[in-house]
Amino acid sequence: MVKKVLVVGGGPAGMMAAIQAKLLGADVFILEKNNVLGKKLLLTGGGRCNLTNMADLNKFISNIPGNGKFLFSCFTRFFNKELVDFFETIGVELREEREGRVFPASGKAADVVKGLEKYLKKIGVVVRYQNRVKNIIAENNVIKGVVLDDGSLIKGDAVILATGGVSYPHTGSTGDGLRIAAQLGHTISPIYPSLVPLEVEEYWVKELQGLTLPSVGIGLKIDNKIKKQLLGEVLFTHFGLSGPKILIMSREVAFYLAEGRKMKIELNLKPGKSAEEINKEMQSVFAFNPRKILKNSLETFLPPKLIPIFIQEAKVASDKLANQITKEERLKLVQLMQHFKFSISATRPIEEATITRGGVSVKDIDPHTMSSKLIKNLFFAGELIDVDGLTGGFNLQIAFSTGYLAGFSAANNNLI
């Protein structure tokens, strides 16, 4: 008997699930609320689409702080090498870049979506656009089908929920799957934004908008204690801080903000030097040109845009000459270079987050099949599961791998 599999959501997880189920002989229907597939996928990686990362399994899992171990079984079935082979098979050429990140060779996410759409059509997956699923029908805890917004019923032998999280809602990720899963009795872990810029209290940060510091020490202080330290790029915005390492820290920031904890970001602008070394260098620069005013002397150490803020925060007169700077004032400047602090007021809204932290609890999902432990023939894939990774291609691999396993399991005669 041919199984009828309904895939709710046409993002990366849903498309991969549909492909795998179809290849195993099922009749497969993607029910997509938008009028296109892969709407959020088009935005990933700044439109370049960081598909995966070629890190080995253990390193890969270490970059998934949100329940990464849950994915061991999934990744042993379908991992980065298999994903690369898959895209090459369907005609999407890929390229590996720094730190193992893999992108389409064209640098265009649109080519990834086109490749997937073309393959779905080739193998005969039916895509029904502008079909928003309102509810899932289960009798005696066994899947029977889904109900659309217009009240119509579509019967099916298995349902794969792949509706995404709640970030970027304009792409269709509005939490529908989480609501449906909860109605069926599944536990939903608390939802937080992740991989999102941070807002800070300092009013003058807007004056630094557009400034990028390429390689600085970044410390996250919680209740005045260092929680995490990273090295990387920081981008200043009109509201606060961004950049890859700031996004990584945002995962914990969102959680602790919800608990009412006080947090600061502390930047070390000279991470390779000690305070003594910076002080000696500053003494030398000031002595070499003693009649130079302070703001011009500091150009040796800081980007011009940052200098007025530094002088203001160090409480030193900007028109002072280099030879008029006291030892105490010089040490204030050195201290500020190593401990440039920002008080975190909020993350940007979850609607602007790259991904969602939280979702359907992994305790309710069988890691070997992606099936619900509560409802027979219901499967989960992608971002609505309480699993989340850092930047670098980890989250899309999660989507494709969970989609692969969900599709395989849904079409497997032995499981239905």
Q: What is the pLDDT of residues 267-320, one digit of tens each?
A: 999 999 999 999 999 999 999 999 999 999 999 999 999 999 999 999 998 889
Global pTM reads 0.93
Three-state SS for 225-269 is: EEEEEEEEEEEECCCEEECHHHHHHHHHHHHHHHCCCCEEEEEEC
How is the chain split into domains, by residue range? 4-193+350-415, 198-347
> If pLDDT is split at 50, 70 and 90, which confidence band does 229 have?
very high
The domain covering 4-193+350-415 belongs, at the CATH homologous superfamily level, to FAD/NAD(P)-binding domain (3.50.50.60)
State the pLDDT at residue 169: 86
Inter-CA distances, 356 with 10, 99, 190, Å: 17, 24, 10
- Counting Cα atoms < 13 Å in the Cβ hemisphere of 111 gives 17
The encoded tokens of residue 229 equal 């330290």
Q: What is the pLDDT of residues 237-265, one digit of tens each?
A: 999 999 999 999 999 999 999 999 999 99
- pLDDT higher than threshold 80 for residue 205: yes
- pLDDT higher than threshold 80 for residue 360: yes
Query: Mean pLDDT across the stretch 2-15?
Result: 97
State the pLDDT at residue 173: 87
Q: Is 382 strand, coil or helix?
A: helix
Q: Kindly state the helix (H) or strand (E) to which residue 7 belongs, with its residue range.
A: strand 4-8
